[in-house]
Amino acid sequence: MRAEPRAVARRPDPTSLVAGLAIAAFGVVLLLDATGTLDLRFAALAPLACGVVGVILLASGLTRRD
């Protein structure tokens, strides 16, 4: 009797997942600014951009340690 091949669950890539969510969130902010819902200033952009890049790099670095 042959054993059925066990399906291996694919682990999501944390870097892509975090990057996707962060970039999508950044895009939403850009969209809100473009539609006039909010007025994006550098005072908000700087921490936002650093946050996006930072979480991506962090996710990339932590992934490598697995």
Query: Is 47 among the residues that bind other proteins (CB under 8 A)?
Result: no
Nearest to 55 by CA among 12, 11, 10, 24: 24
Query: Is 35 among the residues that bind other proteins (CB under 8 A)?
Result: yes
Q: Please tell me the distance from the alpha carbon of residue 15 to that of residue 21, in angstroms, as a whole number.
A: 10
Q: Please tell me the distance from the alpha carbon of residue 52 to that of residue 23, in angstroms, as a whole number.
A: 7
Kindly write out the interface string for residues 3-32 of this chain, putting x where it contacts other proteins by CB under 8 A and - elsewhere.
-------x-xxxxxx-xxxxxxxxxxxxx-
The binding site for other proteins (CB under 8 A) comprises 10, 12-17, 19-31, 33-35, 40-45, 48-49, 52-53, 56-57, 60-61, 63-65
